Amino acid sequence: MKNVEKEIGGKTLTLETGKIARQSAGSIVLTYGETVLLVAVNAAKEAREDIGYFPLQVEYREKHYASGKIPGGFFKREARPTEGEVLTSRLTDRPIRPLFPKSFKNETQVMVTVLQSDGENLSDTWAGVGASAALLISNIPWNGPIATVRVGLIGSDFIFNPTREQLDECLFEMVVSGNKENIVMVEGEAKEVKEDVIIEGLKYAHKYILEIISVQEDLASMLDISKMDIHEVAQNAELDAFVKGDFNDKIDQIVKITDKVVRNESKSELTKAILSSANEKFPDQENEIKSIIDALFKESMREMILSDGVRSDGRATTDIREITIDPSILKRVHGSALFTRGETQALVVTTLGSKRDEMIIDSMDEDYKKNYYLHYNFPPYCVGEVGRIGFTSRREIGHGNLAQRAIKPVLPDYDDFPYTIRIVSEIMESNGSSSMASVCGGSISLMCAGAPLKGHVAGIAMGLITDGTRNAVLSDILGLEDHLGDMDFKIAGTREGVTAIQLDLKIDGISFELMTDALSQANEGRMHILDKMYESVPEVGELSEFAPRITSIQINPEKIGALIGPGGKNIKKIIEDTECEVNVDDDGIVTVAGQDAAKCQEAIKLVEAITFEPEVGMEFDGKVTRLMNFGAFVEFAPGREGLVHISELEWHRVDKVEDVCGPGDAMKIKLMKIDDQGRLDFSRKALLEKPEGWTPPPKRDRNQGSRDRGRKPFKGRR
């Protein structure tokens, strides 16, 4: 067993190997604070020759026992991965994937398991560190190490790996992965911060990245590591020359075709022609020929951009594709927008719901509810293909989460707009940056629904083509430029600043200078898109007539029990009488939802009647609930009643309560007294006109009967 430890950010980071999961190619037990993760990596012995991609599988799993919990549900065991686990798996995958050798095609698996969670130190960033360390000490070829950290900004101070509580105070937070020289991955959200603040945050993160990398290298130096041999496929120079010699010019022409469908069809026809002409001389080499063709297309497109500054659709590097916006395209939904940018199109729909529509999250560390969420769907028809329809893909979860985080900072406070908000983005066409189209469409559909946003949010995807000396930063990239380029850098924000950011690279890293250039160029593109959005929908519209009417009030939390009533009697009666949904939180916020605004107000009045603090002198329209010898109990609000003593029923003497009222009778009453136990004494006669010549009856002498019978007056018990 070998282990190293170092204090980083005020807590001890420990990396240990050789004790647990010893049959894996590489295993690490990582401890930070009292959070413990196990990372195990393995690779197949033989390479897969039948695929054109690297078969890497990264799985991050949280165990409920790690925080002393038992999973919910009937089976009481962890089921399919949660959205949070999928996002962390992607967060771990993205920085390590580009660092595997291009020719390495052995199926590789990275398994991350949270064994213990202290609820304070988040485990998602340490998953990336553990994966890097496990790959570094394994026999799997990999060009690491890297490290992943989270940076927060509270006030003007950057915070390394903010705790769960500190995250609520952060102006922005980013998860950053990097190697010794550069940044390789970024994912974050912000409350409209400027681009220079993001750069400073990345530089701050890199200092800690270097510290964590040094810990991994210290562990690796203790071990005798031998990497697997990679069998390089020899390049067929004759075949390569054949394809280049006869077809290179045609490839250059196809790359310049602006229409995606026409370009793909032309490429398919050329590929068939090359395969046909090569069939006799190079039989059974179809895969090799297709690989050469793909490489030539990539080389041609990249060279055209680097040499001429012209892209495959004819745009310059800073140009944005044509934008069209159709707000409120669906008339009966609460809010909708069709956002089209070039050949990328998103139909985005907003639905406003009530408290019961909140999403319940049962996670390892905490259970909570979300009153805002965005779902992203990428059906096969959006790229003109036939595909498998099944569970939501990791890509859909990741893109939806990015768009969700981008819009979140401009949403109104729940107290001001007490709705559960669901946004659904249906991708109708895709040719680059459909997640950023979802951001734009989501912002517009929210305003069409009547949600009082602080301002529009727009998103743009930036690309990069580099050969090491020449660099071209591309605005609003196409799918082809994403596939054949070196970077996919998504930035969303308002006119005031950035709200979300995501960086993925296909190269080993990107310098801070290039990051600064990309952010500056993205700012210009974002402002152009925002101008188009404000032209289409300049301000928040009226609340949709089809949306529920929701109002809320704050009550004294001590009155929650009175509102609910025994067995839920009171709140059920309000719901039944008003046909509205009524929910009450532990902090005393009562939310009423219904389609009829008048009935919502009626329900609010009933809630107020039950929960308000009555004061002496107040008058009520009550209803007699029960009779006693000494008076009548009158309900003045649902579930609340007080006593009208027999002497307070009429100005004249009443012998029997039944002579004045009966159960179910309406009665106007006035509050006369609240005793020290909170009991309420009402009067009916106080609201009746006093008879002329009325004089108060003489006080009754309770000893007069004794005197009449010649007995001594009663003086109480002996």
Pair 313, 341: CB distance under 8 Å? no
What's the burial of 51, exposed, middle or buried (CB within 10 Å: 0-12/13-18/19+)? exposed
User: Mean pLDDT score of the chain, rounded to an integer?
Assistant: 89
Q: What secondary structure letter does DSSP report for 380?
A: G
Q: Return residue ranges of the chain for CATH 1.10.10.
A: 237-308
Integer Cα distance of 661 and 650 in angstroms? 11
**Where are the extended beta strands (E) located within 101-207?**
106-116, 147-154, 157-160, 172-178, 183-193
Residue type, 52: G
Integer Cα distance of 523 and 498 in angstroms? 9
Residue 653 predicted with pLDDT over 90: no
Q: Return residue ranges of the chain for CATH 3.30.230.70.
A: 2-149+192-221, 323-536
pLDDT in tens, 256-307: 887 777 888 888 888 888 888 877 777 777 778 888 888 888 888 888 999 9
Query: Mean per-residue pLDDT for 30-44?
Result: 96
Residue 71 predicted with pLDDT over 90: no
Pair 668, 636: CB distance under 8 Å? no
Tell me which of 413-417, 628-632, 644-648 is least confident.
413-417
Q: pLDDT class for 717, splitting at 50, 70, 90?
A: low
Integer Cα distance of 550 and 149 in angstroms? 41
State the pLDDT at residue 711: 62
State the pLDDT at residue 708: 58
Integer Cα distance of 319 and 311 in angstroms? 10
Output the pTM of the full model: 0.83
Residue 706 predicted with pLDDT over 60: no
Pair 9, 207: CB distance under 8 Å? no
First-to-last alpha carbon distance for the chain, in angstroms, is: 88
Q: Return residue ranges of the chain for CATH 2.40.50.140.
A: 614-713
State the pLDDT at residue 119: 85
State the pLDDT at residue 718: 45
Q: pLDDT class for 567, splitting at 50, 70, 90?
A: confident
Q: Return residue ranges of the chain for CATH 3.30.1370.10.
A: 549-611
Distance of alpha carbon 415 from its chain centroid, rounded? 19
Integer Cα distance of 322 and 341 in angstroms? 6
DSSP string, 614-666: --TT-EEEEEEEEEETTEEEEEEETTEEEEEEGGGS-SS--S-GGGT--TT-E
Residue 54 predicted with pLDDT over 60: yes
Q: pLDDT class for 137, splitting at 50, 70, 90?
A: very high
Q: Please give the CATH architecture assigned to the domain spanning 614-713.
A: Beta Barrel (2.40)
Residue 95 predicted with pLDDT over 90: yes
pLDDT in tens, 574-595: 888 888 888 888 888 888 888 8
Number of neighbours of residue 315 by Cβ within 10 angstroms: 18
pLDDT in tens, 595-637: 888 888 888 888 888 888 888 998 988 999 999 999 999 988 8
State the pLDDT at residue 387: 83
State the pLDDT at residue 366: 77
State the pLDDT at residue 234: 66
Integer Cα distance of 548 and 445 in angstroms? 16
Residue type, 409: P
Q: Given this structure, which CATH class describes domain 237-308?
A: mainly alpha
Number of neighbours of residue 244 by Cβ within 10 angstroms: 15
Tell me which of 17-31, 184-198, 418-432, 701-715 is least confident.
701-715
pLDDT in tens, 368-389: 888 999 999 999 999 888 888 8
Q: Given this structure, which CATH class describes domain 549-611?
A: alpha beta
Query: Mean per-residue pLDDT for 75-79?
Result: 83
Q: Which residue has the higher pLDDT, 507 or 108?
A: 108
Q: Please give the CATH architecture assigned to the domain spanning 323-536.
A: 2-Layer Sandwich (3.30)
State the pLDDT at residue 614: 82
Residue type, 482: D
State the pLDDT at residue 2: 93
Query: Mean per-residue pLDDT for 342-349?
Result: 95
Distance of alpha carbon 4 from its chain centroid, rounded? 36
State the pLDDT at residue 205: 95
Integer Cα distance of 315 and 328 in angstroms? 30
pLDDT in tens, 519-534: 999 999 999 999 999 9
Query: Mean per-residue pLDDT for 310-332?
Result: 93
Residue 470 predicted with pLDDT over 50: yes
Q: Please give the CATH architecture assigned to the domain spanning 2-149+192-221.
A: 2-Layer Sandwich (3.30)
Portion of the chain with pLDDT greater than 70, in percent = 97
Q: pLDDT class for 390, splitting at 50, 70, 90?
A: confident
